[in-house]
Structure 1
Amino acid sequence: MSDPFADLHETLFADKDVLSEDYQPESILERDDEIEEYRHALSDVLFGRSPENIMLYGKAGLGKTAVTKYMMDALVDNAATREEADELHVHERNCNGKTLFTIVRGLVNDLLPPEASPFPKRGLGTADAFEELYAQLDRRGGTHLIVLDEIDHLEDADTLLYELPRARSNGHIETAHVGLIGISNNYTFREQLSPKVKDTLMETEISFSPYNAVELQTILENRAEKAFVDGGYDKSAINKAAAFAARDVGNARQAIDLLRVGGEVAEKRRAECVTDADIEEARTKVKRGRLENRIRDQTEHAQYILQAVAILESDDKTPARSKQIQGMYEAVATRCGADPLTTLKSIQDHLSELHMLGFLQRFERNEGRGGGQYHEHALDLDPEVVIEIRKQIESERGE
């Protein structure tokens, strides 16, 4: 059998990693205002004062995590050279799919000395984990910034956001200073917190707005210069990828994905550069891939509810009221081997969030004194694609 790779000698990519999701650029483009707000909010750390709590809001792909990584790296470097600054420790946790106990246990294990046994997974509760966390913070001393990405996915965020900011004033820690940095894709996350948490948090809020086409062009041009060989892309292809992403949700990650996949399409057809046509083809591929990732990012029960609405949509039974959706959701959850949520309120909360995230359309109905006001929901996506993705996810879980 002949060598299947024998004819692979040339590539359009000089450094394809530049277009990967985990690439951290040396400088952040088109986020000067947000960086300035961040810089001001973090400045107390450099003078040995207790850090402010910070909340970052904005949809996925708008630079929140990249800017945070950039700012943390710069802050650590600066703190190491300042006499007034305490020793700085940054702890990063992604809350998606995690319980409060898992997050606190992970922080404890970050702080334990190398010779210590890890905090146990079983046998102790969340209160025990908090107690050990406070002990380890005081043992280490210094300033600790706890970065919680996708904090809106943490079911008991109230407890975490109440406990840690008050730890020093409540006497749980004496020598350490603690600040929280929460990153949320949900603009309404703060509204869902309890009043006592809102009063305690006293945070700086930084909102990340969608990029426009010009800003995305700047970002893509910077990446393309590093990612492709000389002459490996048309300027018009950059503009088209930026325009597509700006027209959708202003998402830099989506724009970069379009450029990367466009390069793969061009390379597959053995072209000398990426063209508009390659970006057009990449758009279809990326759109499906991003939808799949967005669905996978949702909680288990949010996915069941989304699948239920998709089934109703396929049967021409939408827009549907919450009670109708609840019935289909219960059937989907049971079929997947899960215990359904028991209250209609929990279903309505999930529907509201799925609407906010762009998965669902919501229609307000008013039938006067007799019928009252209520909402109906319909899918804002192709139901066949949603059902197919959900089948794929379930098949993977069953393997």
Structure 2
Amino acid sequence: MTEYFQDRSAIFESERLLKESYTPNDLPEREEQLKRLGLEVLSPVLNDAPPHNAFLYGKPGQGKTAAARFLLEKLQNEVDDRSGVSLTTIFQTCKGHHSSYQVACDLVEQLTGENPNGHPKRTVFARLYNALQDIGGIVVIVLDEVDNIGNKDMILYELPRARDNNHIEDMDVSVIGISNDMTFYDELDPRAKDSLCEVEIHFPPYGADQLRSILNRRSEKAFVDSAVTQEAIALAAALAAQDLGSARQAIRYLYKAGEFAALNDESQVSEEHVREAENHVEQMNIAQSIRDLTTQDQLALLALTSLANESETPASTPEVYSRYTDITSHVETNSIAMRRVRSHLHDLDMIGVVSGAKRSGGSRGGPKYYWELNTDFETTVDVLTEENRFNNVLELIDKP
């Protein structure tokens, strides 16, 4: 084997089981949610009736998508053993989409192989209904990460009412929406809420004991026997439980810890590897969060980063705005009003990139928001450097 590759079989039995795309064969930690989804939502299919529409919600990594895939596969097996029931399941991710129109275009492409993007909305939905009519029977459409479409939620009341509105006939369509945003339900159009949320199922964050159980099951098949210590599993579970309560995060910690052990030619994954993995994953998450920011978000962050480099943080909103306008002039970009920059700073605070706190202005007036970086300085500068037009500003920032 050349110097460019490594045989990791001393640590890993099957790395595939640690990938996000893997769906486990059992979900005992979600037994309550599975029973509700099966009994309250999907059971009518066995009597050749459409299932109820449902809304599954909770933070990322709580098993929502895995639960839907798991039960729908089991339901399909039940239906296959019966005669007279035709069931089709369609999974569609809404990630990267910002409207019902975009989701409808993707559904048409998934069903027909042709994307109608650019055609009028009425034409797109007509093609979607025709494609569903061609399938017939009972169709369950799972819209994953549906919160991405925001308030452009027309598809959430269009699809469940397709038969009532004579868009399809002699068949049924039901929708299961999955959301990572716990507030998305509250902001839904009342018609969409009425159509989609016949049954609502909340997936709360996992506790440390649940995550440890998940990691133990996954590691039994993913790692070589005795390649992972129980201490390492317990630490990965505890770290994830303290942060997001996410199974995805806990598995990511353990997977990266295994990679560090393999790279160091060590035969066992230890607590030290897990701590190294947590730091690495956290830095990668921060970097991706910054890359995903809008230009104005990045400019506000750049202004705060510049002030942090000069030990001028926490900085008030007017101070950040003053530096922001200096930067926009320097890179020849249009500036926006201070209230909008303040809004961008609040958005950055919500995703954990910066930290803002309201403090008394003392002799300088009433209370103001003061801002400071909540991310590693070097990582922030490195990622912002990827945007070439910021380079002439970032050259002025010396890393500590």
TM-score between the two structures when normalised by the length of structure 2: 0.80
Q: Does residue 220 in structure 1 map to residue 212 in structure 2?
A: no
Equivalents in 1 of 2:199, 2:324: separation in Å? Answer: 41
Q: Which residue in the other structure is 1:46 paired with?
A: 46
Letter in 1 for 2:300: A
Structure 1 position 283, deviation (Å): 1.6
Structure 1 position 82, deviation (Å): 3.0
TM-score between the two structures when normalised by the length of structure 1: 0.80
Change (3 A) 1:196 1:187: same
Q: Which residue in the other structure is 1:198 paired with?
A: 193
Letter in 1 for 2:65: T
Change (3 A) 1:256 1:10: closer
Aligned with residue 269 of structure 2, among 271, 274, 285: 274
Deviates more, 1:173-182 or 1:311-320: 311-320
Equivalents in 1 of 2:205, 2:253: separation in Å? Answer: 17
What do the CA deviations read for 1:203-259 (whole angstroms, capped 9, x no partner)? Answer: 321111111111111111111111222221211111111111111111111111111
How many percent of aligned residue pairs carry the same amino acid? 33
Alignment of 1:95-114 (within 5 A): 95-99=94-98, 100-112=100-112
Letter in 2 for 1:76: Q
Change (3 A) 1:5 1:153: closer
Change (3 A) 1:390 1:59: farther
1:309/1:378 contact within 8 Å kept: no
> Which structure 2 segments of 5+ residues have no match?
389-400
Structure 1 position 365, deviation (Å): 7.7
1:177 aligned counterpart, secondary structure: strand
Structure 1 position 322, deviation (Å): 10
Q: Which residue in the other structure is 1:64 paired with?
A: 64
Change (3 A) 1:218 1:322: farther
Structure 1 position 362, deviation (Å): 5.4
Letter in 2 for 1:255: A
Structure 1 position 344, deviation (Å): 6.5
Q: Which residue in the other structure is 1:153 paired with?
A: 148
2:153 aligned counterpart, secondary structure: helix
Q: Which residue in the other structure is 1:289 paired with?
A: 284
Structure 1 position 28, deviation (Å): 1.7
Equivalents in 1 of 2:166, 2:6: separation in Å? Answer: 68
Equivalents in 2 of 1:19, 1:95: separation in Å? Answer: 23
What do the CA deviations read for 1:48-87 (whole angstroms, capped 9, x no partner)? Answer: 22321111111111111222221221122222223463x1
Pairs aligned (count) = 379
Q: Which residue in the other structure is 1:163 paired with?
A: 158
1:287 aligned counterpart, secondary structure: helix
Q: Which residue in the other structure is 1:312 paired with?
A: 304
Alignment of 1:112-123 (within 5 A): 112=112, 118-122=114-118
1:90/1:144 contact within 8 Å kept: yes
Equivalents in 2 of 1:253, 1:374: separation in Å? Answer: 38
1:166 aligned counterpart, secondary structure: coil
Structure 1 position 129, deviation (Å): 0.5
Deviates more, 1:236-245 or 1:41-50: 41-50
1:30 aligned counterpart, secondary structure: helix
Equivalents in 2 of 1:346, 1:134: separation in Å? Answer: 43
CA RMSD of aligned residues (A): 3.7
Letter in 1 for 2:32: D
Q: Does residue 185 in structure 1 map to residue 180 in structure 2?
A: yes
Equivalents in 2 of 1:135, 1:323: separation in Å? Answer: 57
1:56/1:184 contact within 8 Å kept: yes
Change (3 A) 1:364 1:147: farther
1:307/1:386 contact within 8 Å kept: no
Equivalents in 2 of 1:278, 1:93: separation in Å? Answer: 36
2:159/2:173 contact within 8 Å kept: yes
Q: Which residue in the other structure is 2:252 paired with?
A: 257
Change (3 A) 1:7 1:218: closer
Q: Which residue in the other structure is 1:17 paired with?
A: 16
Equivalents in 1 of 2:345, 2:46: separation in Å? Answer: 43
Equivalents in 2 of 1:289, 1:57: separation in Å? Answer: 26
Structure 1 position 347, deviation (Å): 8.1
Letter in 2 for 1:41: V
Q: Which residue in the other structure is 2:394 paired with?
A: none
2:157/2:195 contact within 8 Å kept: yes
1:31 aligned counterpart, secondary structure: helix
